[in-house]
Structure 1
Amino acid sequence: MANQVEKTIRIQLNDAQTIMELSQLIQKYNAEIFLQKNVLGSMVEANLKSILGLINLQLQGEDQVKVICEGPDAETALEAIESFLKAG
């Protein structure tokens, strides 16, 4: 059974951070990585390894999101994503 971890995070992005940087950061992990965000009352989920998925989420500072990672390095991937999203 694959290792799965999840965590709800309040984003604290700064102006210098881009979704391209986040996309590049997570490409090295073998885990499947998803992010869920409430958009206008509907829960939207995107694969974080998809740049289009990241764009569609329209991440902004102070958004609350759930990160779900599944795979052999899920915990490490979750730590890296949390660190990036809370770097602001």
Structure 2
Amino acid sequence: MKRVSKEVTVNIREEQTITELSAGLQPYQADVYIEKMSRGSHMKVNVKSFLGLVTIHLENGDSITISAEGEDAEEALEMTARFFEV
């Protein structure tokens, strides 16, 4: 199974929503995750999960690692990275 990852710094516009990100990933078969350190704790959530995205509480300037696993992992990873690096 193909696995790829990329570190990015969150830089999103105020009008962007996590719902857009989650919906945009639905056509992809790959599992996509975001990881970040928050107050000394390591958090990892599934990007296709609305609840997961709410709990990770991302802010501009946060350093995150995006990882994807599956047949179309590279495409899903790049779509996710583009969302955060606007």
TM-based fold match above 0.5 = yes
C-alpha deviation, 1:31, in angstroms: 0.2
Alpha-carbon distance in 1 for matches of 2:51, 2:71: 25
Q: Which amino acid aligns with 2:26?
A: Q
* Residue of structure 2 in register with 1:82 after alignment: 81
Moved over 3 A (4+): none
* Residue of structure 2 in register with 1:27 after alignment: 26
C-alpha deviation, 1:66, in angstroms: 0.4
Identity of aligned residues (%): 36
Alpha-carbon distance in 1 for matches of 2:54, 2:69: 22
Alpha-carbon distance in 1 for matches of 2:36, 2:26: 21
Alpha-carbon distance in 2 for matches of 1:5, 1:26: 16
Q: TM-score, normalised by structure 1?
A: 0.95
Q: TM-score, normalised by structure 2?
A: 0.97
C-alpha deviation, 1:79, in angstroms: 0.7
Structure 1 residues without counterparts, runs of 5 or longer: none
Q: How many residues align?
A: 86
C-alpha deviation, 1:27, in angstroms: 1.0
